[in-house]
Amino acid sequence: MGNSIEVKDLTLNFGSVSVLKNLNIDVQEGEFVVLLGPSGCGKSTLLNCLAGLLDISDGQIWIKGKNVTWAEPSERGIGMVFQSYALYPQMTVRGNLSFGLKNAKVPQAEIDKRIARAAEILQIQPLLDRKPAALSGGQRQRVAIGRALVRDVDVFLFDEPLSNLDAKLRSELRVEIKRLHNALGNTMVYVTHDQIEALTLADRIAVMKGGVIQQLAAPLEIYNRPSNLFVAGFLGSPSMNFLKGKTVDGGRAFQFGSTKIDLAGYEGGAVLERDQAILGVRPEHITVSTSPVSGPSMPAEVEIDEHLGADSLLWLKAEGTNMSVRVPVEGRLPPGTKVHLGLDIPKASLFDAKTEQRI
Amino acid sequence: MADVAMHPALTGPRGAKPRRLLSPRNIVLYGTLIVVCMYYILPLWVMIMTSLKGMPEVRLGNIFAPPVEITFQPWVKAWSEACTGLNCDGLSRGFWNSVVITVPSVVVSILIASINGYALVNWRFRGSEVFFTILIFGSFIPYQVMLYPIVIGLREIGLYGSLWGLVIVHTIFGMPILTLLFRNYFSSVPEELFKAARVDGAGFWGIYFQIMLPMSLPIFVVALILQVTGIWNDFLFGVVFTKPELYPMTVQLNNIVNSVQGVKEYNVNMAATLLTGLVPLIVYFVSGKLFVRGIAAGAVKG
């Protein structure tokens, strides 16, 4: 399978402000790539550049082996779904779906055929003659997806399509988008700031910050082996525990305050001795015990416990640092309890505190 | 009674709080409203009553009294017989002049201004902000300053003294405020709608006519009212840029009312004034609801 989208050295400047910096990304045919990042990181801007809605300052964009850097949005072979649905309010659903096809001078019989197919896939047949104002949020977003669908294109661009929906509808439509992707096999690029959407939908996630892609990898790879501090802190809720210390004993152990943690089994590069290092451990990779545990561990004191229904969160203090640990409901402990934390070192991440990169 | 005493909760206030009709608040509120209404209605009352009286009755001087004998003769005279200068065909000539001036001025200025506003919001070009600033600055320059240069300009292109010259002047002078109005309205239309239309392959005109126009009826009504009333009521440009046979209705009204020869026919003057004000009034009444909606929509964003 070849590349569906290739972005080469893309740079975008607004005046003197550089919004996207020398960005490279290849998306394979049929792949689902999620652009994830906090607001203002340039993810929507990148999507608008792919769609041709923003003129780029430098670099190239190739879609389906064609250089579309200077092409109009409608000539790029893309369909786009927007956060605010962006349905034309004065047209019926049918009018919304057919607007682009009429502009492209598609014959009426073909238009009818494509609308019928899209309406069947998205189950919006009963809505075809209604105006957008008479639809619910979920129905509107289905129609917006349908508008991309009827264009019969290879690449779908989603710009935070679920952000305006309530939590229940959001998870329903999320599954539906995944199902659509499985059924159609189109290339999809999806912008979101919601990490659940990113983790569940993506074949690969591109985590962005400050106009730069921080890491581009499969969801589990990103979750388990974040390439730098930002990615590690951005994914996961509650976020990863960061322990500031240094590596000692030729890189075989981590000195955290007065506690020495054995790094045997750490998966990564040569640790070496560094006088400023950060050990990152996710809340679910820590065990809590009231008696001393074997293996890498440290003492701590429980401050708050929160019950989330399915499991519980313990907020603790260890060596003056706040930490969170995810425990089963029966593992709850009252505040003030002195405990020992067992760390799962093979699943932990170690960062150089100066470069903020993973070791 | 014993039951009630046992349940004190039942004796206290319950249900909707009673409202007194003649509370001090209501008296002040409605009193002010009535006084203000009278203030605006009285002149209109005097005009209508006077215009329906014959001259002998007018001379009695009871300006508030309704006519004893209703006559429509003053209206007929104002419309078709009153003399201004050498022409004695009443206001009808001015009416048709005003129609010929107003219709093209309104249509052309709204068309151009709406396209201006749309382009300034959605198709930003290098220097579009500067262009807009200069355009808005134009609305702060007093008309008097421009009169003589425009007279020369119109003379040079051979349109001085013609209705078309006046149409051009009205179109240009309506541009700043109308462009501002449309720009503000279009900037309240979600940008994503415009993006979606571009992905759907619509161009500059396609998006304007098929997406923007059908969505902006209220603001077009606002522009229509502003322009119809503004141009219809214009006096200065009408008197400066045309000649007596082509005077718009307002100028003719002035000439009828202010003629110094003969008796002052107050009833005819009143009828002529009412006739001249009729067009803007009708426009207001017909489109009042849309006007309010459009003003509210166009005013929000700067």
Inform me whether the C-beta atom of residue B127 falls under 8 Å from chain A C-beta atoms: no
Average pLDDT of chain B, as a whole number: 87
- Tell me what pLDDT residue B301 has: 37
B199 in Cβ contact with A73 (< 8 Å): yes
Q: Is B240 exposed, middle or buried (0-12, 13-18, 19+ CB in 10 A)?
A: middle
Identify the pLDDT of residue A1: 55
Specify the pLDDT at position B87.
73
Lowest model confidence (mean pLDDT) among A137-146, B9-18, B53-62, B233-242: B9-18
Summarize the confidence of residues B69-77 as an average pLDDT. 90
- At B302 the pLDDT is 34
Report, as an integer, the average pLDDT of A331-347: 88
Contact B119, B127 (CB under 8 A): no
Distance from CA of A90 to the nearest CA of B (A): 7
How far are the Cα atoms of A174, A260, A262, A273, A276 from residue A251, in angstroms, in the given order? 44, 12, 9, 5, 12
Contact flag A51-B199 (C-beta cutoff 8 Å)? yes
3-state helix, strand, coil in chain B (%, to 5): 75, 0, 25
Q: What structural domains and CATH numbers belong to chain A?
A: 3-234 (3.40.50.300), 241-352 (2.40.50.140)
Q: Please check the confidence at residue B95 and state whether its pLDDT lies above 50.
A: yes
Interface of B with A in 168-197 (CB under 8 A): 190, 192-193, 195-197
Average pLDDT over residues A20-32: 93
Of A87, A89, A100, the CB nearest to B201: A100
Query: What's the rounded mean pLDDT across residues B210-236?
Result: 90
Mean pLDDT over each residue of chain A, to the nearest integer = 91
Q: Which of B199, B204, B209, B212 to mutate to test the interface with A (most CBs of A within 10 A)?
A: B199
* Whether the bond into A238 is cis, omega within 30 of 0: yes
**Residue B179, class by beta-carbon neighbours within 10 Å (0-12 exposed, 13-18 middle, 19+ buried)?**
buried
Tokens at B36, concatenated: 């203000």
Chain segment B100-119, per-residue pLDDT in tens: 999 999 999 999 999 999 99
Single out the residue of A281, A215, A166 nearest to residue A37, CA to CA.
Answer: A215
Q: Phi and psi dihedrals of B5, rounded to 5?
A: -60, -30
Instruction: List, in sequence order, every beta strand (DSSP E) within chain B.
Output: none
Q: Look at residue A34 and tell me whether its pLDDT is greater than 90.
A: yes
Please report residues of A whose CB lies closer than 8 A to that of B199. Answer: 51, 53, 73-74, 78-80, 100
pLDDT in tens, A219-245: 999 999 999 999 999 998 889 999 999
Please give the share of chain B, as a percent, with pLDDT higher than 90. 48
pLDDT digits (tens, 9 = 90+) for A37-54: 998 899 999 999 999 999
Report which of residues B86 and A208 the model is more confident about: A208
ipTM above 0.90, yes or no: no
Among the ranges given (A177-181, A248-252, B44-48), the one the predictor scored with the smallest mean pLDDT: A248-252
Assign domain B92-299 one CATH number from 1.10.3720.10, 3.40.50.300, 1.10.3210.10, 3.30.420.40: 1.10.3720.10
Contact A32, A7 (CB under 8 A): no
Q: Which residues pair with A339 in a beta bridge?
A: A300
Tell me the nearest-neighbour CA distance from A335 into chain B, angstroms: 45
pLDDT bin (cut points 50, 70, 90) of residue B298 is low
Q: Where are the domains of chain B?
A: 2-76, 92-299
A93 pLDDT exceeds 90?
yes
Q: Which residues of B touch A53 (CB under 8 A)?
A: 195, 198-199
Shortest distance, CA B227 to any CA of chain A (angstroms):
26
What is the predicted pLDDT for the residue at B5? 53
Q: With 80 as the cut, is the pLDDT of residue A188 above it?
A: yes
Average the pLDDT over A322-346 and give the result: 89
Question: Interface of chain A against chain B, CB under 8 Å?
Answer: 48, 51-53, 72-74, 78-80, 82-84, 86-90, 99-100, 103-104, 147, 151, 159
Whether B210 has its CB under 8 Å from any CB of chain A: the answer is yes
pLDDT above 90 (res B28)? yes
pLDDT at B289: 74
The stretch A89-95 carries a mean pLDDT of 93
Listing DSSP states for B281-300 in one string gives HHHHHHHHHHHHHHHHHHHS
